[in-house]
Structure 1
Amino acid sequence: MDKQIRILVVDDEPRICHLVEELLKLEGYQIDVSFSGTDALEKIKENDYQMLITDLKMPGIDGLGLIQKAKEHNPEIRAIMVTGFTTVDTAVQSLRHGVDDYITKPFNITELKETVKQVLHVHQVAHENMLLLKDLEKTSTDLKSHKQKLSDKVYNTSEQFEAINKKLVQRVNELDTINEISKVITSVLDMDELLNLCLNEINGKLKVKHSSIMLVDEERGELVVRASQGYRRMQVLGKIQKMDEGVAGRVVQEKKPILVKDIQNDNRFNRYERLDYNTKSFVSAPLFLGQKVLGVINIIDKISGENFCETDVNLLSTIAGQVSVAVENSRLYKALEENCFNMVKFLADSLEAKDRYLCGHSQRVSDYSSSIASVMGVSAKEKNTLLHASLLHDIGKIGISELIFNKPDKLNDVEYDTIKSHPSRGEKIIKPLSFLGESIRHIRGHHESFDGSGYPDRLGGEDLPLLTKIMTVADSFDAMTSERTYRQPWNTNKAMLELKRMSGKQFDPNVVDAFASSEIIKMKSELENLADC
C-alpha cells in the first residue's frame, strides 16, 4: 500500500490490545495502542489515524463516547466496536454514534482481519466516489456556463458563420443532453430504476430506436443485459453472453468504444457474423471506473435512418462515464444497506439461537411468506420488502425476558401485555434504518387480524396491506407446527384446518387459499404422510 494505514486499538485489557496489535501488524498496518478512553483521545488529537478499534465497556470514557469525540475531531476516522455485550440498545447506539462495523467477543482472527479490510475498503470507495461526484458537479457547472456562452455567441453570429452556428447548436444540445442525463442518474440509487431512467433519456435525447446496458457478472465471467428500452426490449432483456464474445465482448477487452456505421458493409465482420445482427448501425461504449470495467452501453439505429458517426461515439462515451459513477454508487449503497440489515438480522438470529422453541422461526416464516407471495403474483420489489419484514418480524422480542417466552403455565395479564408489545418494539428498533421503511408497517402489523381483533392497532380488512396478511398466515402456521413448552407441534394438515377455520376471522381467505395451494404445503403434507406409513 502506498501510504501505511495507521490504526489506534483501545481496550482496558492490555493483553487484548497487544494481541490485536500483533495480528494487524502482520497485515501491514501501523498500530498504536491505548488502555483508556482518555489516553486514546489525546493520541487521536496528536496523530492522524485512519481507523479506531475500541472496546465498548471501559472506565472513564466508554467506547461510544470515545468514538463520538473522535468523530468530532476527525470525521473521516473509521470506527469498529468490539464488545461482548450484544444488545439492541448497543447496536442502535453504535449506529447513531457513527460505528462502521461491530465485532462481538470472542472474535476470531479471520473475522477481525476481514472486518478491518472491509471497513477500510468501503471508506476508500466512498471517498473516491465523493471526489468523482465533485468533479462531475464541477463539470456540469462548467458545461452549463459553456452552454450559455455558446448560446450567446450563436445569437450574435452573422450569416457568414451559419455553418459554425449549426455545429455550435449541436454541441449545445449535446451538453444539454449530458446535463439532463446527469441530473436523472444522480437522483436515484436503485440499480434497475437508475439504468432504465438513463436509457429513457438516451432514447429521447439521441433519438434512437433501441438502447441497452449490459453489466459484468464477475463470478460467471459474463455480460448480462440488465436494462433495455426500445423496440427490441423484450428480445434482449436478461440475455447473457461471454465477455470475450461479440461486439460487447470486444469493447470490454479493449476498453474502447466501437462504432458500426453499417453492419452490412463493415469489413470487421465476416458474412456469417453479419447475419447475427438485425440492426444496421450501432455504437457500444464501455462503462468503467479506473481500470475496472463495469459493463457496456449500446445504442442501436437512429429513428431518422441515418448512420451513427464519431460525434455520437464521443457523446455516448461521455454519458458512459457518468453512468459508470452512478452504477458504482448504487452498488456501494446496496452494500451499505446489506451491512446494516445483516447487523440487525444477526441480533434477531441471536435471539432465536437462545431459545430452542424459536430457533429458525424467522427463516421458516420467510420461506412460507415467499411461497404465498409467488402464488399471489406479488412483484419482485414487494417480495424483497416481504423478505426483510419476515426475517425481522420478531426483532421486538429482544429485551423481553426468556422466562416469559418459556413459561409453561398461562401468562398473567402483565406478561401477556409484555409479549403483545413486541410488534411496536420492533417498529422502534427498525425505524432508524430508513431503507427498511416499507418493511416497518408489516413488522408492526404481523399480529393484526382480518376481522380487526388483533394488535397493536386493531386494523382489519382492506386496512391491512397484503404483505402483512401474508406474513400473519405464515407466522401463525409456523407457530402451530413448532414445538412449544405447553404443547407438541401440530402436523401440516391439522394446522391448515385451523387456518381455514379462522379464515375470514383472523386470516384473509384469499391468503389462506393461496397458502393451501402452494408447493411448500403440498411437499410438507406428502413428507408427513410418507413418515406415517
Structure 2
Amino acid sequence: MQRKASILVVEDSAGLRENLVQALTMGGYDVRAADNGRSALETLEKDSFDVVITDIRMPGMDGLTLLDRVLSMDKKPETAVILMTAYMTIESAVSSLKKGAYDYITKPFKIEQLLHTVQAVIDKRRLKIENERLARELKKLNRQLEKKVRLRTKQLQDSQDKLQRSYLEIIKAFAVVLEERDAYTQGHSSRVTEYALRMAKEMHLSKDQMRALQIGGSLHDIGKIGIPEEVLSKPTKLTDEEWRIMREHPEKGARMIEPLSFLSQEKVLIRHHHERWDGKGYPAGLAGEEIPLLSRVLSVADAFDSMTSTRSYRKRMKLEVAIEQLEVNKGTQFDPRIVDVFLKCLDKYGIITSMDCIILAGGKGERMKADVPKVLLPLRGKPLLGYVLDLVGMFGMHKIYIVVGQGAEQVKQYVTRTYTLNGPGAHHGDSDGALAEKRIEFVLQAEQLGTAHAVMQVLPYLKRSKNGLLILSGDVPLLSFETINRMIEQQIRGDTELDIATAKLDDPGSLGRIKRSETGELEAIVEMADATEEDLAIKEVNVGAYCIASDHRFLDVLSDVQVNNAQGEYYLTDAVRLFLERGNHVGLYEITDPGEALGINTRQDLARAEEYLRKMRPRSHVSGLDIANRTSP
C-alpha cells in the first residue's frame, strides 16, 4: 500500500493555515503546519516531507528565503516547494521557478485548484525521482536486458507525456500573469477565446478544432513574454525598430510550445494569427486560403477585442466604429466569410465586456429595526444581497468589491458561506463556480458617510484597473439581467462616461428624483431630504445602478464631493452633479419594468418586493454565482 504523501504547510495566518490543513487532510495527505519560516526549518531538520507549501509574505523569514534554505538541505529525495502569494508578477514567478520552486498558487484560490496543484507537484516529484532512478539503472543494463529496457522506455514516455501536460499548465499560468501585469489587457485572451468559440460553433467546426481554438486562444499572445516591457507597455506610437520587435511575438509564442508535440494545431494557429487576407501580414506573409482556418478565425476575434478595449496608447472604439472597421477590412485584412460569421454571432450573443463591480452593502438600515444588516434581511428566504450577487454572477465580472459597514462580519460570513468553498458555487460543476473565492473583495467603510464615501473606499483597489465599472446597491434586489445588460450595452454604444438606471414610479417614495432638461438630458438628481415640492412631484427616480466607462473619469470627481445636504452625507448624486458641471455627458437608461426599481428601506418595501416576486414569473433571478456569461452559447 502506497504511503500518504507528507506535506508541511507554512502560513502565518491562523485561519488560512487551519483551512489548508483541513482541506489537504481530507484530500488524503499527511499534513503538519508551522506558523513561520523558522519554525518550519526546525520541523524540517527533524522530519522529511514530500512537499512544503509556504506563503511568500511572512514576518521574519519570508517564503523565498525559506525556499533557499529548504533546497540547501541535504535531503534525498529533495523536498518540493510550492509558493503562495497574492502579489505574483511574471518576474517573480519566473524567478521563483528558476530558484527551484516546483509551482506557485496565486491567492485567492479554490480548494480544487490547490488540490490539483499539490497532486501535480507530487506526481512531478515522483516522476523526477523515478526518472533519476531509471537513468541510474539504465547505465547498468546490457543488451541481454532489452525487453526490460523497452518496458522502462515506455514508462519514460508516459512520464514525458505527464511532464508535457504540466509544462502546458505552467505556460498557461504565465499567460495569465502576463495579462494581469498590464491593466489594459486583463481578460483579453479569455474574451478572444470566447469570441472564437462562438464562431467555431456557428461554423460547425469539429471538437478537435474547437479544442485547438480554446487552448490556442488562451495562449495566442504568450510570445509577448519575450517582448521588453518598455515596448509592450509603451503609451505612444512604436518606432520602426520597436514595431519589428513586437511583430516577433507570434514566432516566439509558437517556439514556446514547440516541445509540446500534441499542440501542433495550436502552434500553427499562434504563429499565423497576425497574417492578413491580402498577404501583407506577418510572420510569413500568407494570403487568402493559405492562412490556416483557425488563425483566420482568431484574427477577427483578436482584432475586434483590441478595438473595443482601452489600451495604454488609445481609448476603446465605439462598438459601431469597430464593426465598421471589420466591414471595411473584409477582403484585405480579414477573411470576408469569417467577418460575416463574427457579426452574426455578435448580433446573436452580444459583446463580451471586462467589468468590475462595486456593491454597496454597508448601509445602516436603521428604519428596519432588525438584528442583522439590512442587506441580509430575507426576501422569500434569501437575503437581499444574495439577489444582487446572483445578478452580478451572470456577467463574469473581473472583480466584485462588496463595501461593508454595519454588521460587516455577518455579511462576510454570509457571502463566504454561500458563495465560496462549501457554498453553492463550490459544487455546481462549473469552472467558474466558486466565483466569490477568487473574485470577491470585501472593503470596509468604517463610518457610514454616504454612497460617494463608500465608493471612495474602493478607489485604492481600482488604481490599475482599466475595466468598466458597475455600481449597484445591495438593498435593490429586483434588477434583472436584461436591464443591467441593456444599460451596459447603451454605455458601450454611446459616447457617455457614465450611465444611470432610472424608472418612472407612481409612488416614488424616498428615492432621488431625476431632473431632466427640455431636451431630455440629465440636469440633476435630487435626494428626497433636499427636494422641493416641485422636485417631489417628479415621477422618474434614480434606481441606484451606475455604469462607468473604463477610463474611470467619473471617479475623479469623488474627492471634490462636499456635504451639501440635510443628511450630512457624501452622495454619489453630488458626484454626478459635479461631473455634469464639468461638461461631461451622462446617459440615462429607463427601466421598462418599474417594479425592478424597488429599494428596500422599510418593512413595507420588503412586503411590496415579496408581492412583486409572487406575481412575476422568474426571469433572471437565479441562485448561485455559477453563470460566467449569460450571452455565451
TM class by smaller structure: 0.3 to 0.5
Q: Which has the higher contact order (CA 8 A, sep 6+)?
A: 2
TM-score under structure 2 normalisation?
0.40
- Which structure carries more helix by proportion? 1
TM-score with structure 1 setting the length: 0.47
**Structure with the greater alpha carbon radius of gyration:** 1
